[in-house]
Amino acid sequence: MASIKDVARDAGVSSQTVSNYFNNPSIVTVKTKAKVEKSVQKLGYIPNASARRLRNQRSYTLAVGIAPSGYSQIFDPLLHALVSEADNHGLRIMLYKTDSKTDEIRQFKSLVSGGDVDCFILTDTVYDDPRITWLTSHNQAFVLFGRPWGQETDRDSSTAWVDVNGRLGIADVTRHLIVTGHRRIGFLGWPDPSGTGSDRRSGWEDAMLTAKLASKDELKSLQIESEDNIRAGQLACQKLLRKHPDLDAIVCVSDTLATGAHTFLRQDCHIDITGFDNNSSAQSLGFISLEQPSSEIAHELVRIAIEKISEIEHGTVHADLQSQHVLLTPRIVHG
Amino acid sequence: MASIKDVARDAGVSSQTVSNYFNNPSIVTVKTKAKVEKSVQKLGYIPNASARRLRNQRSYTLAVGIAPSGYSQIFDPLLHALVSEADNHGLRIMLYKTDSKTDEIRQFKSLVSGGDVDCFILTDTVYDDPRITWLTSHNQAFVLFGRPWGQETDRDSSTAWVDVNGRLGIADVTRHLIVTGHRRIGFLGWPDPSGTGSDRRSGWEDAMLTAKLASKDELKSLQIESEDNIRAGQLACQKLLRKHPDLDAIVCVSDTLATGAHTFLRQDCHIDITGFDNNSSAQSLGFISLEQPSSEIAHELVRIAIEKISEIEHGTVHADLQSQHVLLTPRIVHG
DNA sequence: CTGTTAGCGCATTCAC
DNA sequence: GTGAATGCGCTAACAG
């Protein structure tokens, strides 16, 4: 509740000196600094956020959308990492609801006009996403978590994103299976169209082709699609095994499907299963999985957000475009 | 970007009139209202949040803590419901990190002194929680999600909370099993001490004792404890069945454990399983579960938050204490 | 019922 | 290097 004036009075200086102490420390005498420091400590002074925001015309907050479905793209650990990373830079994370893409744009309008948000973090974007169009045309900072899937054009190069290289991750895990003696490796994927799903699947295809463990035609037969839930995973696994009883491993596009496969096969089976996300099921059932590097994702997301905010503030595009398209590698976690 | 002055100029009135249009509409002429309305629409005016916050000394934001562990008490659907409900009342949800209870108090300090937050929503509280002590002594509004477990005293009556009646929910589901012909019903629970876990277990005990399906001693033997993960659930289920091969149903304290039990038993088995939370596993595997009423929880949480903020603002405790201790009933969801 | 005045807390000009 | 003004956008008190 103490204001800058209280500190100034207590320290026997003027309020602007206190302001300088925080915003431009280099121009304050060491002696004065000590006095201010003491008073700040004594009064527990913290600058008032609203006043600072009003004065600087910046909200110091990042907005993250949260979808109605239980399964939003923003997973729990990432949210925490984001809050933590933002905190390191004096930024806050605010949530807004995204019941639909049009509803989301209504939210943008309210948030932006109200000066509530400096930068948006979007998920689940597609090519020609109306949200991207809106934000761009309103000169509003934003970063995507997840590449915008679909036809790519030049115009995308100005759209910053951070994503996880599922293709590489799945290829890594497939290679791991190969070098540990597996030869007949199936794939349990999501139904098309799914950008993320196709990307991950191609990792398995890459590794299999390179290792000459299957022809392109055989790859088609060695994979099966399933909705992302345990029961569907169990059934798909059963179906795949009926077709290929000789499988010695199954790479799954998600931990949910891997859990389905694993629980269908039970312990006594010699078929190895891998998943993606390293959720609690992967840990407890002990199958190999790929962990999304939440901290790094958050780190990059916040870094780019700050860049974008600065770009918009100064009306420049000084940043290296490459550095705003970040592809992170998931880490293999052995059960 | 339009300010209240722009609207005033465009509408040919003073800026106060525009302010009144929003904050005290009853004192504005119908004719004037129309003019203002038109200009607001035309300019897409939205009041600047920071200015309003500074002026009114209110942040219009609720803070929700987010824990580092993947499994925070605040689950995804609740978060969405919270954002949605807050939005209905012109409130925002801000996240802050809670790496530890002491770290959390440091966050409080920063958030409160900075005027960033009007009310906190806490989870995972215990009796004599240092956070509660701090918030209370600093006259700061807060609501708990989840009762503070432990020894209860008078002093708790001023602490508002919203919780889900796990005991009643589990008793309901147990009764459902009984009336559908089950007699030997086991329980798969969490290890003590767990307030929530004990609460839920006692629901099963209630129903079993009332139905005279077991003596108090037998109840002890019909239950088993397990860490909350799938593998542990599988093992505990196995162990329980070895002791009681005649079980015809197992009530589980969580969907995770239910998933463990269900996947251990497989389809062909005649033993029914129930869980708690109605997560995606419950839905896909098709076992009975209890759904947390996220919308209601959010509704009550926000309602009480608003009450608390008003109490603190006016320095009164006008609210009915009963209405600030809300126990909601989970809903049975049949697979 | 409408318009004028003042100030929320801070930070960026300027003189000194 | 420090202190005195000014205004960010808004709204609660007044006066008209």
How close is the nearest chain B Cα to the Cα of A83, in Å? Answer: 6
Mean pLDDT (whole number) for B4-21: 90
Which of B54, B113, B281 lies at the smallest CB-CB distance from A50? Answer: B54
Query: Does A76 contact B71 at a Cβ distance shorter than 8 Å?
Result: yes
Confidence category of residue B216, pLDDT binned at 50, 70, 90: very high
Strand stretches in chain B, DSSP E:
61-66, 92-97, 119-123, 141-145, 161-164, 185-189, 223-225, 249-252, 272-274, 289-291, 325-328, 331-333
Give the pLDDT confidence score for residue A193 in this predicted structure. 84
CB-contacted nucleotides of strand D (7 Å): 1-5, 7-13
A326 pLDDT above the threshold of 60: yes
Q: Which residues contact B125 (CB under 8 A, 6 or more apart)?
A: B131, B132, B144, B146, B147, B148, B161
Residue of A2 and B214 predicted with greater confidence: B214
What is the CB neighbour count within 10 angstroms for residue A321?
Answer: 10
Question: Following DSSP, what letter does each residue of A16-31 receive, concatenated?
Answer: HHHHHHHH-GGGS-HH
Which nucleotide minimizes the distance between its C1' and the CA of B27? Answer: C1
Are both B59-159+294-329 and B166-291 of the same fold?
Answer: yes
B133 touches strand D (CB under 7 A): no
Distance from residue A30 (CA) to nucleotide C13 (C1'), in Å?
Answer: 24
Edge-to-edge strands, sheet with B61-66? A325-328, A161-164, A141-145, A119-123, A61-66, A92-97, B92-97, B61-66, B119-123, B141-145, B161-164, B325-328
**Structure-block tokens of residue B61:** 């934001």
Question: How many contacts (CB atoms, under 8 Å) link A and B?
Answer: 151
Confidence category of residue A53, pLDDT binned at 50, 70, 90: very high
Give the pLDDT confidence score for residue A166 in this predicted structure. 96
User: Which uninterrupted H or E stretch holds B241?
Assistant: helix B230-243
Distance from residue B11 (CA) to nucleotide D11 (C1'), in Å?
Answer: 19
Distance from residue B140 (CA) to nucleotide D10 (C1'), in Å?
Answer: 25
Confidence category of residue A187, pLDDT binned at 50, 70, 90: very high
Question: Following DSSP, what letter does each residue of A244-310 receive, concatenated?
Answer: -TT--EEEESSHHHHHHHHHHH-TT---EEE-SS--HHHHHHT-BEEE--HHHHHHHHHHHHHHHHH
Residue in chain B closest to A62 (alpha carbons) equals: B94
CB-contacted nucleotides of strand C (7 Å): 1-5, 7-13
Query: Does A46 contact B110 at a Cβ distance shorter than 8 Å?
Result: yes
Question: Following DSSP, what letter does each residue of A85-105 receive, concatenated?
Answer: HHHHTT-EEEEEE-SSHHHHH
Confidence category of residue A141, pLDDT binned at 50, 70, 90: very high
Query: Does B94 contact A279 at a Cβ distance shorter than 8 Å?
Result: no
A110 touches strand D (CB under 7 A): no
Give the pLDDT confidence score for residue A269 in this predicted structure. 79
B229 pLDDT above the threshold of 60: yes
- Residue A330: φ, ψ to 5°: -75, 155
Which of A54, A67, A80 lies at the smallest CB-CB distance from B66? Answer: A80
Q: For the domain bounded by A166-291, which CATH number is listed?
A: 3.40.50.2300
Q: Which CATH number fits domain A59-159+294-329: 3.20.20.70, 3.30.70.1290, 3.60.150.10, 3.40.50.2300?
A: 3.40.50.2300
A16 touches strand D (CB under 7 A): yes
Chain B residues with CB-CB distance to A231 below 8 A:
284-286
B31 touches strand C (CB under 7 A): yes
A14 touches strand C (CB under 7 A): no
Distance (Å, rounded) from C-alpha A248 to C-alpha A225? 18
How close is the nearest chain A Cα to the Cα of B77, in Å? Answer: 5
Interface test with A, best of B42, B75, B113, B269 (most A CBs within 10 A): B113
Q: Are B6 and B45 in contact (CB under 8 A)?
A: yes
B48 touches strand C (CB under 7 A): no
Q: Which residue type occupies A290?
A: L
Question: pLDDT digit string (tens) for B62-98?
Answer: 999 998 875 556 688 899 999 999 999 999 999 999 9
A100 pLDDT above the threshold of 90: no
Instruction: Give domain A1-46's CATH architecture.
Output: Orthogonal Bundle (1.10)
Distance (Å, rounded) from C-alpha A303 to C-alpha A16? 30
Chain A residues with CB-CB distance to B291 below 8 A:
none
Distance from residue B107 (CA) to nucleotide C12 (C1'), in Å?
Answer: 29
Residue of B26 and B267 predicted with greater confidence: B26
Query: Does B285 contact A59 at a Cβ distance shorter than 8 Å?
Result: no
**Structure-block tokens of residue A148:** 């915008």
Q: Are A74 and A123 in contact (CB under 8 A)?
A: yes
Confidence category of residue B268, pLDDT binned at 50, 70, 90: low
Which nucleotide minimizes the distance between its C1' and the CA of A55? Answer: D8
A52 touches strand C (CB under 7 A): yes
Which nucleotide minimizes the distance between its C1' and the CA of A24? Answer: C11
Give just the sign of the alpha carbon dihedral B9, B13, B15, B17: negative
Which of B77, B94, B230 lies at the smallest CB-CB distance from A94? Answer: B94
Query: Does B66 contact A45 at a Cβ distance shorter than 8 Å?
Result: no
Q: Which residue type occupies B76?
A: D
Give the pLDDT confidence score for residue B329 in this predicted structure. 97
User: Which uninterrupted H or E stretch holds A142?
Assistant: strand A141-145
B23 touches strand D (CB under 7 A): yes
Q: What are the residue ranges spanned by the domains of chain A?
A: 1-46, 59-159+294-329, 166-291
Distance from residue B17 (CA) to nucleotide C1 (C1'), in Å?
Answer: 10
A198 touches strand C (CB under 7 A): no
Distance from residue B112 (CA) to nucleotide C9 (C1'), in Å?
Answer: 15
Distance (Å, rounded) from C-alpha A207 to C-alpha A31? 65
B109 touches strand D (CB under 7 A): no
B175 touches strand D (CB under 7 A): no
Q: Which residue type occupies B253?
A: V
A155 pLDDT above the threshold of 60: no
Query: Does A96 contact B80 at a Cβ distance shorter than 8 Å?
Result: no
Distance from residue B210 (CA) to nucleotide C13 (C1'), in Å?
Answer: 79
Give the pLDDT confidence score for residue A284 in this predicted structure. 84
Query: Does B46 contact A114 at a Cβ distance shorter than 8 Å?
Result: yes
Q: Are B280 and A229 in contact (CB under 8 A)?
A: yes
Distance from residue B81 (CA) to nucleotide D8 (C1'), in Å?
Answer: 34
User: Which uninterrupted H or E stretch holds A63?
Assistant: strand A61-66
Confidence category of residue A279, pLDDT binned at 50, 70, 90: confident
Lowest model confidence (mean pLDDT) among A47-51, A79-83, B151-155: B151-155
Distance from residue A115 (CA) to nucleotide C11 (C1'), in Å?
Answer: 18
Mean pLDDT (whole number) for A172-177: 98
Query: Does A280 contact B46 at a Cβ distance shorter than 8 Å?
Result: no
A324 pLDDT above the threshold of 80: yes
Question: pLDDT digit string (tens) for A68-95?
Answer: 875 556 688 899 999 999 999 999 999 9
Strands B185-189 and B141-145: unpaired
Interface test with A, best of B7, B42, B66 (most A CBs within 10 A): B66
* CA torsion, ordered B306, B311, B312, B316, to nearest 10 deg: 180
A160 pLDDT above the threshold of 80: yes
Interface test with A, best of B59, B76, B98, B312 (most A CBs within 10 A): B76
